[in-house]
Amino acid sequence: MLQILRNRKMFDVCIVGSGAGGGMAAKVLTEAGADVVMLEAGPMWDPVKDSYMFKWPYDTQRRGAATEKQHFGEFDAAFGGWTLEGEPYTTGSGSQFDWFRSRMLGGRTNHWGRISLRYGPDDFRRKTLDGLGDDWPITYDDMKPYYDAIDRLIGIFGTFENLPNDPDGVFLPAPQPRCYELLIKDASTRLGIPCVASRLSILTQPLNGRAKCHFCGQCGRGCATHSNFSSPSVLIPPAMATKRLTIVANAMAREVTVDEAGLASGVAYIDKNTNREHHVRARIVVLAASACESARILLNSKSGKFPHGLANSSGTVGKYLTDSTGLGVSGFIPQMMNSPAHNCDGVGGGHLFMPWWLDNRKLDFARGYHIEIGGGRRMPSAGFMGAIQNYHNYTPTDPASRPPAGAGYGKPLKDDYRRFYGSTVNFAGRGEMIPNTDSYMDIDPNLVDKWGIPVPRFHFKFSDHEINQARHMQETFRALIQQMGGVPTSPLPSRERDYGLATGGRIIHEVGVTRMGKDPSTSALNQHCQAHDMKNLFVADAGPFVSNPDKNCTWTILALSMRTSTYIAEQRKAGAI
Ligand SMILES: Cc1cc2nc3c(=O)[nH]c(=O)nc-3n(C[C@H](O)[C@H](O)[C@H](O)COP(=O)(O)OP(=O)(O)OC[C@H]3O[C@@H](n4cnc5c(N)ncnc54)[C@H](O)[C@@H]3O)c2cc1C
Ligand code: SF4
């Protein structure tokens, strides 16, 4: 018989996951006096000791290339990717969905893109505005104090633009645009597309004891000087300083347990070091394992009293799954060829971006997208300027003056690198997907992971709104490249290929599978991200989101987790939970 090792200690709160949502919950709740245990499926990770920020590509034989375990390169601070050994997932018939997971303290915040955009007032009430999807049970005004608080706590740079649905925050000064960014801005201005300073959670001034960024541009490797946001840099240390946080690393949560009164009593987990099952007791459970993992835990928490899992009397756990829409187009810009060596240093990310600028009433799709830009002469790494032989095809030079075929060695090759390095730009769209009934996750009845835990099964389909939006992205990015005097380096994909729209999950902004709402028959959680069915059970990741605006989701995960955790602290103080 399976022996479960039961921890006798009763914690005030058990948090599952240590990323954006879990880290914030741990900080707020420990500082409010709660005795917290945090279960984290991955190992501990310390950016100061463990980051590869100061490594050169030539420090390893691979030159930093991707590995099976690190999909963004061997220096990247992600222990994980779209596939994890022993942790499969499946897709329903005809569906494609790729599920990204990072198993480590801090989760995906160690290597995320740090694009930190607030949702705007319209984003919380889309159904009211265009009849599609649903409204959130809260408004921008409910969220604003928490957005302001995380801006001050974490630090974010930007400029004050007074855009109606892209609210300004409490900004640090923005870095100056790079050379290629100025050329892009010039082109976008001519096309009537606004191009403004990015809003990234990177310090351009010292803040709360953390050093300002020294512009190494290697944020994805984890910042050893704590100058960008990650949970282990900003949230875990203050929680640890209270001495009220116990972190159990390599602890894979399986289910939330329930007592006789029908309340959450703790969490059962597998110790990955020993493969033994443990149980930790807590008065309150906060799931922050990332949206789909938290929904998986709820669906797997079945009992006689809750045969469909927890927080699921409405049957909505797993429903309303969305990811951001996304695709990219690169362009070769002849005027940037043969450019003299110049400084392209800066933060790890673009210094400019283009917020959504059009009126959907004049378009054949609902909702918008923003544009992230890239290019320049950054530190080269494995695979940089791949297929360099093709660059000659893009140039307007007379074919007779091109190097002969096969000149891909020695001096001609070096000359090509010097000639073409820094002469491409790229545009990536990130847009809003509207929840639909074909996109959801459930539990695969036939497959378990290596610890015997049933795995998720994803069903996913884009509607014409997203596909038409993708066509608009393609046309816009190509128009920008042409406006710069350049040529796109790939042909426009066909309608049959959804105009190049990335597979669901590839943009890594999956949200909505435990959505919040006023009506317990159509939502899993109430406006405090508290289960309608169970007052001591909360979700603090992107699961509660009612929609998935074009702004990347993490700044709202952080603000919402702070709001949820503040509510929990108040309820504890009032003796209500
Ligand atoms: C390359 C990349 C770039 C990105 N760029 C941006 C960006 O620019 N802007 C933006 O807003 N977002 C971005 N994101 C998305 C962002 O990283 C996520 O939205 C955010 O980290 C989600 O926070 P979370 O707390 O919900 O989950 P995570 O950060 O994934 O943390 C979840 C934690 O829970 C742990 N866990 C999972 N399951 C269990 C379990 N069963 N038991 C115990 N622990 C468990 C995991 O190990 C992990 O540590 C990016 C992501 C990636 C990968
Ligand atoms: S660019 Fe700045 S924030 Fe990013 S890793 Fe380097 S020093 Fe840290």
Nearest-CA residue for ligand 1 atom 51 is 112
Confidence of residue 396 (pLDDT cuts 50, 70, 90): low
Give me the amino acid identity at 456.
P
Q: Is the CB of 17 under 6 A from ligand 2?
A: no
Instruction: Quick: pLDDT tens for 250-288.
Output: 999 999 999 999 999 999 999 999 999 999 999 999 999
Number of H helices, E strands in the chain: 11, 18
289 CA from centroid of ligand 1 (Å): 8
Residue 157: DSSP 8-state: B
Closest CA to 316 of 508, 539, 128: 539
Give the residue, by CA position, lying nearest to ligand 1 atom 2: 112
Q: Are 182 and 213 contacting, i.e. CB atoms less than 8 angstroms apart?
A: no
Residue 528 half-sphere exposure, CB side, CA atoms within 13 Å? 18
| Confidence band, pLDDT 50/70/90 cuts, at residue 197 | very high
Which three-class secondary structure state does DSSP give residue 423? coil
Please check whether residue 73 lies inside any domain of the structure. Answer: yes
Task: State the average pLDDT for the chain.
Answer: 95
Which residue puts its alpha carbon closest to atom 12 of ligand 1?
A: 554
Expressed in angstroms and rounded, the spacing between residue 385 Cα and the centre of ligand 1 is 29
The amino acid sitting at 8 is: R
- Tell me the CA distances in angstroms from 17 to 44, 101, 515, one per residue in order: 12, 12, 18
Mutate to test the pocket of ligand 2, among 210, 347, 351 (most ligand atoms within 8 A of CB): 347
Ligand 2 proximity of 203 Cβ (cutoff 6 Å): no
Q: Which of 105, 64, 396, 47 shows the shortest CA–CA distance to 245?
A: 105
Residue 333 DSSP SS3: coil
The full 3-state SS of 226-263, as one line of letters, equals: CCECCHHHHHHHHHHHCCCEEEECCEEEEEEEECCCCC
**Could you say which ligand is closest to the alpha carbon of residue 236?**
1
> Of all residues in the chain, what percent carry a pLDDT higher than 90?
86
> What is the mean predicted confidence (pLDDT) over 70-94?
92
First to last CA, the chain: 35
**HSE value, Cβ hemisphere, 13 Å, CA-based, for 360:** 18
In a domain, 222, yes or no: no
Domain extent, residue 457, equals 1-53+66-112+230-324+443-461+510-542+553-577
Tell me whether residue 307 is in a domain.
yes
The residue nearest atom 50 of ligand 1, judged by CA position, is 112
Alpha-carbon dihedral 506, 311, 305, 34, rounded to 10 degrees = 110
Which ligand has its closest atom nearest to the C-alpha of 202? 2
Helix H or strand E encompassing 413: helix 410-420
What is the distance in A from the centroid of ligand 1 to the CA of 458? Answer: 18
How far apart are alpha carbons 26 and 35 in whole angstroms?
Answer: 10
8 Å CB contact between 123 and 531 = no
DSSP H or E segment with residue 557: helix 554-573
Q: Closest ligand to 555 CA? A: 1
Task: Tell whether 570 is covered by a domain.
Answer: yes
> What are residue 277's DSSP bridge partners?
4, 270
pLDDT tens digits, one per residue of 402-434 = 666 556 788 888 888 888 999 999 999 999 999
Confidence of residue 134 (pLDDT cuts 50, 70, 90): very high
Taking the C-alpha atoms of residue 197 and residue 201, their distance in angstroms, rounded to an integer, is 13
Tens-place pLDDT, residues 490-523: 999 999 999 999 999 999 999 999 999 999 999 9
Question: Does 236 fall in a domain?
Answer: yes
Say if ligand 2 is within 6 A of residue 219 CB.
yes
Distance 392 CA to ligand 1 centre (A): 40
CA dist., res. 566 & res. 560, Å (int): 10
Q: Based on the number of CB atoms within 10 Å of its own CB, is 246 exposed (0-12), middle (13-18) or buried (19 or more)?
A: middle
Give the pLDDT confidence score for residue 476 in this predicted structure: 98
Bridging pattern class, strands 537-539 and 276-287: parallel
Task: For residue 511, give the nearest of 322, 326, 324 by alpha carbon.
Answer: 322
- 110 C-alpha to ligand 2 centroid (Å): 12
| Residue 202, ligand 2, Cβ within 6 A | yes
CA 67 to chain centre: 21
Best probe residue, ligand 2, of 50, 205, 216 (max atoms within 8 Å of C-beta):
216
> Any idea which of 45-54, 57-66, 125-134, 325-334 has the lowest mean pLDDT?
57-66
Ligand 2 center–CA 205 separation, angstroms: 12
In this structure, which ligand is nearest to the CA of 347? 2
CA of 181 to the centre of ligand 2 (A): 19
> What average pLDDT score do residues 292-314 get?
97
Mean pLDDT, range 129-153, rounded to an integer: 98
CA pair distance 276, 70, nearest whole angstrom: 27
Atom of ligand 2 lying closest to residue 215 CA:
1
pLDDT at 1: 43
Residues with a CB atom less than 6 Å from ligand 1: 16-22, 39-42, 72, 100, 102-104, 107-109, 111-115, 251-253, 288-290, 293, 297, 508-509, 541-542, 552-555, 557
Q: How far is the CA of 547 from the centre of ligand 1 (A)?
A: 18
Ligand 1 atom closest to Cα of residue 542 = 26
| Ligand 1 centroid, distance to 101 Cα (angstroms) | 7
* Residue 6, pLDDT score: 80
C-beta of 218 in contact with ligand 2 (< 6 A): yes
Does ligand 2 lie within 6 Å of residue 216's CB atom?
yes
Q: Cβ of 58: how many Cβ atoms within 10 Å?
A: 9
Please give the single-letter amino acid code of residue 151. D
Does residue 509 contact residue 323 with C-beta atoms inside 8 Å?
Answer: yes
List the structure tokens of 74: 């061997």
Measured distance CA(539)–CA(547) in Å, rounded:
16
Assign residue 319 the CATH number of its domain: 3.50.50.60
Take atom 37 of ligand 1 and give the residue whose Cα is closest.
289
Determine phi and psi for 279, rounding to 5 degrees.
-135, 130
* Pair of tokens at residue 476: 């816009």
The closest-lying atom of ligand 2 relative to the alpha carbon of residue 228 is: 3
Ligand 2 pocket, residue 225 CB under 6 Å: yes
- DSSP letter at 504 equals T
Ligand located closest to 221 CA:
2
- Rounded to whole angstroms, the Cα distance separating 175 from 345 reads 10
**Residue 450 is assigned to a structural domain of this protein:** yes
Interatomic CA distance for residues 270 and 268, integer angstroms: 7
Phi and psi torsions of 425, nearest 5°: -125, 160
Q: Identify whether 40 is part of a domain.
A: yes
Half-sphere exposure of residue 175: CA atoms within 13 angstroms, side-chain side: 28
In tens, the pLDDT along 426-479 reads: 999 999 999 999 999 999 999 999 999 999 999 999 999 999 999 999 999 999
- Concatenated DSSP letters of 433-449: B---TT-EEEEEEEEE-
Contact 537, 264 (CB under 8 A): yes
Kindly report the protein residue whose alpha carbon is nearest to atom 5 of ligand 2.
219
* pLDDT (mean) for 567-571: 98
Question: How many Cα neighbours within 13 Å face the side chain of 34?
Answer: 33
Ligand 2 centroid – CA 509 distance (Å):
23
b/e 353-387 (16+ beta carbons within 10 angstroms → b) = bbbbbeeeeeeebbbbbbbbbbbbbbeebeeeeee
Ligand 2: which of 109, 227, 230 to mutate, most ligand atoms within 8 Å of CB? 227
SS3 349: coil
Query: CA 424 to CA 422: how far, in whole Å?
Result: 6
Q: Per the structure block, which two tokens stand in for 284? A: 């309150």
Interval between CA 102 and ligand 1 midpoint (Å): 7
CA atoms within 13 A on the CB side of 73: 23
In this prediction, residues 75-98 reach a mean pLDDT of 95
Note the pLDDT of residue 405: 56
* Residue 24 placed within a domain: yes
Output the pLDDT for position 404.
61
- Mean pLDDT over residues 54-72, rounded? 86
Q: Whose CA is nearest to atom 6 of ligand 2?
A: 216
Domains in the chain, number: 1
